[in-house]
Amino acid sequence: MRSSLIRGLAAVLVAAVALGDAEAQPRAAAVSGTVTSVDGARLPRATVIATNEASQEASRSTSDDLGVFVLDRLAPGRYSLLVEFPGLAPRVLRDIVAGAEPVRLDVVLEP
């Protein structure tokens, strides 16, 4: 009886450790940064689109009043990033690898 109890407790402990490891794994990747013009002005409401190069799935964000954008909950992988703002030339950044560590990109748009 005692050995059954010990085996049961051991199984619960192993399951708890496995669940803890699963929770520690990154569930999604993130790309964030700031959009500015060449003169350093922060650009609010810039459109930022990240496209997964393998699946072609796109995620969209808009920069806030300080020009800051956040794209989170991305599937880990390789992305291209399209950044657009009215009156400025769009910019495309390629081969952005999003994974366990957050990616920070500051994007400068030109006329």
Lowest mean pLDDT across 11-15, 23-27, 62-66, 86-90? 11-15
CA 60 to each of CA 5, 75, 82, 98: distance values in angstroms, whole numbers, following the listed order: 52, 14, 9, 15
Lowest mean pLDDT across 21-25, 76-80, 81-85, 104-108? 21-25
In tens, the pLDDT along 10-43 reads: 444 444 444 444 444 446 899 999 999 999 999 9
Give the C-alpha separation, 98 to 101, whole Å.
7
Residue 62 bridge partners (DSSP): 47
pTM exceeding 0.95: no
Question: How much is the mean pLDDT over the chain?
Answer: 85
